[in-house]
């Protein structure tokens, strides 16, 4: 018997779905939850795919933990709670190529990539929908630079640490990006308020029936 779950790393709590599935087998839910939390404690703050392999006859079970989704690993690495709702307009972080390599190495066992370089490109692709810049550039531009060999040294050396000076430059650039995004957002909100105000002030157009009634002449008595 197999049960697939998506849980909060190290923080799974009792729920009706798991209770319904474990009830017929007779395995205490608190025992299962404790083992799942122990197995996923290194992935706190992330959604983690878990599979329970259960033997109904012996009531023995095994917890199989898969690597969290790439998006979850990226959010954890970059310290962001969520991705962008409008990735074409709003950016959420500015990653270094070393950040991307670090995430790739964690995710690599579950990626169908021929080598680390191809896997890095896969992770870079996931940055698009999250609204994550890389090296102060769009993920699409970084993919082209990877193909051109610009980051071959970092990838071959499997570099996962970003120097302080480089990190500061990336953060400073992203501060400017956020400032620009905030100004645009404020302008759009102001324009929306002005548009709604204009609509409210505009007199309602007379209906055809009202116009006809207006043109009717009073009858002579």
Strands 132-134 and 47-55: unpaired
**46 SS3 class:** coil
Residues 118, 39 share a domain: no
Residues 156, 75 share a domain: yes
pLDDT < 70: residue spans in the chain: 203-221
Residues 139, 38 share a domain: no
Q: Are 158 and 120 in contact (CB under 8 A)?
A: no
b/e map 142-151, b = 16+ CB within 10 Å:
bbeebeeeeb
What the block records as the tokens of 81 is 């709670």
- What distance in Å separates the CA atoms of residue 11 and residue 57, rounded to the nearest whole number? 29
Read off the DSSP letter of residue 47: E
pTM for the model: 0.73
The total number of structural domains that make up the chain? 2
The DSSP element (H or E) to which 129 belongs, if any, is helix 116-130
**Per-residue model confidence (pLDDT) at position 219:** 58
**Per-residue model confidence (pLDDT) at position 216:** 57
Query: What CATH number is attached to the domain comprising 52?
Result: 3.30.1550.10
């Amino acid at each position: 018997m197999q049960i697939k779950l998506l849980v909060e790393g190290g923080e799974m709590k009792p729920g009706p779905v798991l209770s319904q599935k474990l009830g017929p087998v007779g395995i205490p839910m608190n025992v299962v939850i404790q083992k799942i939390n122990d197995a996923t404690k290194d992935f706190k703050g992330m959604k983690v795919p878990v599979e329970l392999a259960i033997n109904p006859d012996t009531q023995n079970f095994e917890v199989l933990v898969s690597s969290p989704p790439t998006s979850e690993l990226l959010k954890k690495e970059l310290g962001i709670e969520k991705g962008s709702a409008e990735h074409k307009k709003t950016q959420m972080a500015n990653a270094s190529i070393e950040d991307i390599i670090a995430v790739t190495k964690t995710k690599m066992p579950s990626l169908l990539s021929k080598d680390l370089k191809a896997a890095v490109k896969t992770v870079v692709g996931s940055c698009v929908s999250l609204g994550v810049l890389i090296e102060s550039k769009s993920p699409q531009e970084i993919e082209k630079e990877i193909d051109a060999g610009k980051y071959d040294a970092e990838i071959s050396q499997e570099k996962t640490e970003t120097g302080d000076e480089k990190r500061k430059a990336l953060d400073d650039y992203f501060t400017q990006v956020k400032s620009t995004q905030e100004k645009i957002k404020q302008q759009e909100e102001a324009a929306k308020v002005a548009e709604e105000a204009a609509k409210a002030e505009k007199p309602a157009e007379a209906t055809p029936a009202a116009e006809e009634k207006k043109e009717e002449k009073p009858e002579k008595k």
